[in-house]
């Protein structure tokens, strides 16, 4: 890639940045968005005040608006900011000058720099590394220093978030999932229903703490009927409640029998009848799944049943923490054991295949964007392509854009795949998808670029443990120019487009203000499995390249500043958390950072060995070992907080509740908290009033 093409990309990118910022700062001040942004001044004049404002909100506000997951997400960005401020200072003010004042610089023709390949720029960083062995000691020291800094920060962050998690638990209201566990593989006993078996077992073995249970039923068919009915009801209800439309179609109102509304109501009545029949059928013992949500009188009681092995046959009475009631992913309970098992294997295989072979079509499409290919396929473009600016856009900007755009389809695919993997709650699906996307990105962007060649060649490189360090040491520095281009061309724009994810939300808000309905206002959830891997990947790039090409560090620092402003100002303020994983994303972030560090060490060891600096090589070997030991220590020290709450925390909360008069009501609600939504009484028509259905009810009951 030519330097001029790169500069062109930076130019495009920066212009887009400014444009998007201006657009956004105007849009957010429009009257329809008042209620979203709580601002009402100086419309149509772009301003920067909101940027400064975004630095201000405290973590408590963030916690309130986006939950612990939002806090963890933002801490990931501030963590990266700290790391790259430190690494950037060392990289730019220590490593870069050491390289610049190396002997080899005299050979560069500065006059002709713009026509040179980008590698000249990087020469500042790498040339010295390759030719002046003694200067490697500076890099050696920098590697130790940065590793120590990152590890210290990781420790502090892990501790802080673990503490926050417990604080969050202490300050939370009593929640059904704190008092409930999910029990699976309930053994069948002759002549008694699953419900009876559960009741008997827990009355016998946990008599002092057991409260109630809800057996899960096979409701997949019923659920689809209920969903259809709800959609239809919404449609009808929306039309009824819409005064504009009513005015527009006055004629139809008189000929009731023929109105679509009348027709819909009949259909709804039928559906309602079907649902009632279905509910009665599903509630029979024959449709019971051998799984149940079991609730206890105290958090301590639930934890006790969760942690203790229950049965003499350890494959029965398997316990796991219950998710929040609205977080439960009901469809998968109905699947049989074989179905679950098969789908797990199939999904794992599909993920591996997608990850390994994703690049094949992308590289093919990217190949079409070089000038000669374009001229061959579209001869009429020859004139335009001969313009310098166009050719620079095409070589510098288009390939990255294609890669970045095709990467956008990955998170939804991974989420879709994860949803079939047997997870019982949406948050687990998100976590699993997030993990998949992280490794997908590292494999398809980092390793695919570093080891250019077929997917199988790459696989063989990774699987050959003896050679991998040397191959990395040769291949990684050679790709520095690509990754700088990657950061400056697509990194910024990509993150900026996030600003406009808010647009559909704004549109629906505008529509609502024009046509007021009683429909629930649907706030889009934060999609962590999409945003976390992207941010983490820039972190990995920064850590891996910090001593190879320190020039990358200011760009990555800028990226994180941008990311901070963008994510802090809104998304977090606009999006509403649908469910809370309680900071479960942090361990993933931690492990990815550790992976980045060890990867960086591996590259450094390979590089030092290639340069025949034996002492430095041997002195570096303990570093990845210590990093992995540190990781092991963190895992032992902090992970238990992320898997279960300890006894002392539980008993403290339980004791606080003892004198709370509201607990009676809470227990009353707890008994039915985990009722399958498909089995809840639903009335689209009928004689009784229901807050949700009353408008329709009153009309339909008088009509029929």
In angstroms, what is the minimal distance from the CB of 638 to a copy of itself? Answer: 7
Q: How many helices (H) and strands (E) are present in the chain, helices listed first? A: 36, 4
d(CA 260, CA 16): 48
Q: Nearer to a copy of itself by C-beta: 159 or 329? A: 159
In angstroms, what is the minimal distance from the CB of 315 to a copy of itself? Answer: 5
Q: Nearer to a copy of itself by C-beta: 141 or 321? A: 321
Q: Nearer to a copy of itself by C-beta: 649 or 678? A: 649
Q: Nearer to a copy of itself by C-beta: 118 or 303? A: 303
d(CA 640, CA 156): 16
Residue 182, beta-bridge partner list:
293, 320
- Residue of 192, 205, 513, 698 interacting with a copy of itself (CB under 8 A): 205
d(CA 642, CA 161): 10
In angstroms, what is the minimal distance from the CB of 194 to a copy of itself? Answer: 17
**Rule CB under 8 A: is residue 208 a binding residue for a copy of itself?**
yes
**Rule CB under 8 A: is residue 528 a binding residue for a copy of itself?**
no
Q: Nearer to a copy of itself by C-beta: 89 or 163? A: 163
d(CA 333, CA 330): 6
**Rule CB under 8 A: is residue 338 a binding residue for a copy of itself?**
no
- Residue of 23, 304, 462, 663 interacting with a copy of itself (CB under 8 A): 304
User: How many chain residues bind a copy of itself (CB under 8 A)?
Assistant: 32
**Rule CB under 8 A: is residue 204 a binding residue for a copy of itself?**
yes
d(CA 266, CA 264): 5
**Rule CB under 8 A: is residue 41 a binding residue for a copy of itself?**
no
425, 329 Cβ separation under 8 angstroms: yes
Q: Nearer to a copy of itself by C-beta: 106 or 313? A: 313
d(CA 68, CA 63): 6
d(CA 602, CA 624): 8
**Rule CB under 8 A: is residue 663 a binding residue for a copy of itself?**
no
d(CA 165, CA 390): 52
**Rule CB under 8 A: is residue 389 a binding residue for a copy of itself?**
no
Residue whose C-alpha is closest to residue 198's, from 177, 209, 184? 184
Question: Distance of CA 160 to CAs 114, 301, 475, 568, 596, Å?
Answer: 47, 28, 37, 19, 21
Q: Nearer to a copy of itself by C-beta: 263 or 637? A: 637
Residue whose C-alpha is closest to residue 301's, from 178, 174, 200, 173? 178
In angstroms, what is the minimal distance from the CB of 209 to a copy of itself? Answer: 10
Supply φ then ψ for residue 211, to 5 degrees.
Answer: -115, -60
In angstroms, what is the minimal distance from the CB of 207 to a copy of itself? Answer: 8
**Rule CB under 8 A: is residue 520 a binding residue for a copy of itself?**
no
Q: Nearer to a copy of itself by C-beta: 317 or 486? A: 317
Q: Nearer to a copy of itself by C-beta: 120 or 641? A: 641
Q: Nearer to a copy of itself by C-beta: 170 or 408? A: 170
**Rule CB under 8 A: is residue 365 a binding residue for a copy of itself?**
no
Q: Both tokens of residue 578?
A: 């649908």
Q: Nearer to a copy of itself by C-beta: 233 or 645? A: 645
Residue whose C-alpha is closest to residue 623's, from 649, 642, 636, 604? 604
Residue 2, beta-bridge partner list:
117
In angstroms, what is the minimal distance from the CB of 652 to a copy of itself? Answer: 8
Cα of first residue to Cα of last residue in the chain, in angstroms, is 74
Residue whose C-alpha is closest to residue 560's, from 160, 82, 157? 82
- Residue of 58, 109, 315, 372 interacting with a copy of itself (CB under 8 A): 315
Taking the CA atoms of the chain, what radius of gyration do you get in angstroms?
30
Residue whose C-alpha is closest to residue 74's, from 507, 477, 573? 573
d(CA 693, CA 449): 57
Residue 319, beta-bridge partner list:
183
**Rule CB under 8 A: is residue 314 a binding residue for a copy of itself?**
yes
**Rule CB under 8 A: is residue 310 a binding residue for a copy of itself?**
yes
The sign of the dihedral angle between the CA atoms of 214, 220, 222, 223 is positive
Site residues (CB under 8 A) for a copy of itself, limited to 600-659: 636-641, 644-649, 651
In angstroms, what is the minimal distance from the CB of 463 to a copy of itself? Answer: 10
**Rule CB under 8 A: is residue 166 a binding residue for a copy of itself?**
yes
Residue whose C-alpha is closest to residue 604's, from 145, 117, 253? 145
- Angle at which helices 398-407 and 359-367 cross, to 10°: 150
In angstroms, what is the minimal distance from the CB of 637 to a copy of itself? Answer: 5
In angstroms, what is the minimal distance from the CB of 167 to a copy of itself? Answer: 10
Buried b (16+ CB within 10 A) or exposed e, 346-357: ebeeebeebbbe
From residue 109 to residue 148, the character string flagging contacts with a copy of itself as x (rule: CB under 8 A) and all else as - is: ----------------------------------------
In angstroms, what is the minimal distance from the CB of 204 to a copy of itself? Answer: 6
From residue 261 to residue 300, the character string flagging contacts with a copy of itself as x (rule: CB under 8 A) and all else as - is: ----------------------------------------
Q: Nearer to a copy of itself by C-beta: 190 or 204? A: 204
43, 29 Cβ separation under 8 angstroms: yes
**Rule CB under 8 A: is residue 311 a binding residue for a copy of itself?**
yes
**Rule CB under 8 A: is residue 201 a binding residue for a copy of itself?**
yes
In angstroms, what is the minimal distance from the CB of 348 to a copy of itself? Answer: 15
The sign of the dihedral angle between the CA atoms of 536, 448, 558, 493 is negative
Q: Which stretch binds a copy of itself (CB under 8 A): 20-28, 256-264, 313-321, 684-692?
A: 313-321
d(CA 478, CA 122): 10
Q: How many CA atoms lie within 13 A of 697 on its CB side?
A: 14
**Rule CB under 8 A: is residue 373 a binding residue for a copy of itself?**
no
Q: Which stretch binds a copy of itself (CB under 8 A): 115-123, 199-207, 382-390, 676-684?
A: 199-207
- Judged by the rule CB under 8 A, the positions of this chain that interact with a copy of itself are 163, 166, 201, 204-206, 208, 303-305, 307-315, 636-641, 644-649, 651
């Amino acid at each position: 890639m030519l330097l001029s093409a790169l500069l062109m990309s930076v130019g495009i990118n920066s212009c887009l940045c400014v444009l998007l910022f201006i657009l956004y700062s105007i849009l957010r001040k429009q009257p329809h968005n008042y209620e979203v942004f709580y601002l009402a001044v100086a419309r149509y004049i772009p301003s920067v005040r909101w940027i400064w404002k975004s630095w201000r909100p405290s973590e408590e506000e963030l916690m309130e608006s986006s939950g612990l997951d939002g806090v963890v997400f933002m801490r990931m960005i501030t963590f990266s900011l700290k790391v790259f401020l430190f690494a950037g200072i060392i990289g730019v003010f220590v490593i870069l000058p050491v390289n610049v004042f190396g002997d080899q610089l005299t050979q560069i023709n500065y006059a002709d720099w713009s026509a040179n390949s980008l590698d000249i720029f990087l020469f500042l960083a790498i040339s010295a590394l390759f030719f002046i062995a003694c200067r490697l000691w500076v890099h050696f020291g920098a590697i130790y220093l940065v590793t120590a800094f990152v590890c210290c920060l990781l420790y502090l962050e892990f501790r802080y978030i673990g503490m926050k998690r417990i604080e969050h638990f202490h300050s939370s209201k009593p929640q059904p999932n704190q008092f409930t566990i999910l029990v699976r593989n309930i053994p069948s006993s002759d002549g008694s229903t699953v419900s009876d078996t559960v009741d008997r077992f827990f009355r016998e073995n946990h008599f002092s703490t057991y409260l109630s249970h809800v057996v899960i039923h096979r409701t997949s068919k019923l659920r689809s009927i209920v969903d259809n009915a709800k959609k239809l009801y919404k449609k009808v209800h929306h039309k009824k409640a819409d005064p504009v439309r009513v005015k527009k179609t006055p004629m139809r109102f008189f000929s009731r029998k023929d109105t679509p509304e009348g027709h819909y109501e009949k259909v709804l009545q039928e559906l309602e009848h079907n649902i009632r029949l279905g509910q009665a059928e599903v509630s029979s013992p024959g449709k019971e799944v051998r799984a149940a949500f079991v609730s206890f009188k105290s958090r301590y009681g639930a934890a006790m049943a969760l942690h203790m092995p229950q049965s003499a046959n350890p494959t029965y009475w398997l316990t796991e923490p219950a998710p929040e009631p609205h977080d439960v992913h009901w469809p998968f309970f109905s699947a049989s054991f074989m179905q679950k098992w098969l789908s797990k294997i199939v999904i794992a295989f599909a993920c591996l295949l997608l990850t390994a072979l994703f690049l094949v079509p992308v590289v093919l499409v990217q190949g079409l964007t070089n000038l000669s290919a374009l001229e061959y396929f579209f001869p009429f473009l020859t004139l335009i392509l001969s313009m310098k600016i166009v050719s620079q856009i095409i070589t510098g900007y288009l390939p990255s854009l294609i890669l970045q755009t095709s990467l956008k389809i990955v998170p939804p695919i991974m989420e879709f795949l994860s949803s079939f993997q047997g997870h019982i709650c949406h948050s687990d699906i998100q976590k699993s998808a997030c993990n998949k996307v992280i490794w997908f990105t590292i494999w398809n962007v980092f390793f695919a670029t570093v080891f250019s060649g077929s997917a199988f060649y790459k696989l063989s490189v990774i699987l050959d443990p003896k050679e991998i360090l040397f191959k990395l040491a040769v291949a990684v520095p050679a790709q520095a120019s690509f990754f700088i281009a990657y950061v400056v061309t697509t990194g910024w724009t990509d993150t900026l487009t996030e600003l406009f994810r808010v647009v559909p939300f704004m549109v629906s808000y505008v529509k609502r203000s024009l046509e007021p309905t009683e429909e629930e206002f649907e706030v889009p959830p934060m999609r962590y499995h999409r945003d976390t891997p992207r941010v983490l990947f820039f972190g990995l790039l920064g850590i891996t390249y910090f001593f190879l090409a320190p020039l990358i560090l200011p760009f990555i620092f800028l990226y994180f500043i941008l990311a901070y402003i963008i994510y802090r100002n809104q998304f977090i303020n606009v999006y509403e958390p649908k469910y809370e994983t309680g900071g479960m994303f942090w361990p993933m972030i931690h492990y990815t950072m550790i992976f980045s560090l060890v990867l960086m060490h591996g590259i450094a060891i390979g590089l030092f060995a290639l340069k025949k600096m034996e002492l430095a090589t041997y002195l570096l070997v303990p570093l990845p070992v210590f990093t992995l030991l540190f990781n092991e220590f963190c895992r032992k020290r902090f992970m238990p907080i992320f898997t279960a709450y300890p006894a002392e925390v539980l008993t403290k909360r339980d004791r606080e509740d003892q004198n709370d008069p509201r607990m009676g009501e809470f227990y009353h609600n707890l008994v039915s908290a985990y009722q399958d939504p498909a089995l809840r009484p639903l009335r689209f028509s009928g004689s009784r009033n229901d807050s949700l259905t009353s408008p329709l009810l009153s009309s339909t009951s008088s009509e029929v």
